[in-house]
A = this chain, B = another copy of it.
Amino acid sequence: MQLKVYLSGEIHSDWREKIIQGCEARGLNLSFYSPVTLHEASDAAGDVLGSEEQSFWRDHKSAKVNAIRTRTGLEKCDIAVIRFGDKYKQWNAAFDAGYCAALGKPYITLHSKDIVHPLKEVDTAAQAWATSPDQVVEILEYVIQ
């Protein structure tokens, strides 16, 4: 059984690479999907369809294009890993968690201890809370071994 893992959330650190490399090092039969993680590219996803004067509609158009990719990723994955970093609002990460919860799709949160209280609804609906990519790798290995 190959499992599909969607890596949602923070795009400013190398947590995705660490998880992917850790799983490859252990030879786990997993495939990984992510949103577009280059901030500028993501914000510009809709520009090809024509420029917008108002930033609200530019955002709107790009978010719609990005959603093709992120929704497909969420719908197709077996497990999501949702990362909250120490900066920014990251409402899209929490949005993805709620999306998974409604679909009954298991997800693992990855974040440091200091944001445990504001993330309590998100963590409670999760199957696991990890604080390091290594822990995520160990959980994935356990699940698929």
Q: How many residues of A contact B (CB 8 A)?
A: 78
**CB of A36 closer than 8 Å to a CB of B:** yes
**In the bound complex, how far is the Cα of B129 from the Cα of A76, in angstroms?**
24
Interface residues of chain A: helix, strand, loop or mixed (majority): helix
Which residues from 44 to 58 on chain A have a C-beta closer than 8 Å to any C-beta of chain B?
45-46, 48-50, 53-57
Instruction: Tell whether, in the assembled complex, residue A121 and residue B104 are in contact, meaning their CB atoms are under 8 Å apart.
Output: no
Instruction: Tell whether, in the assembled complex, residue A106 and residue B67 are in contact, meaning their CB atoms are under 8 Å apart.
Output: yes
- A92-B94 contact, Cβ under 8 Å, with A49-B128, A68-B139, A130-B49: yes
The 5 closest A-B pairs by CB, nearest first: A98-B98, A102-B102, A94-B94, A95-B98, A63-B124
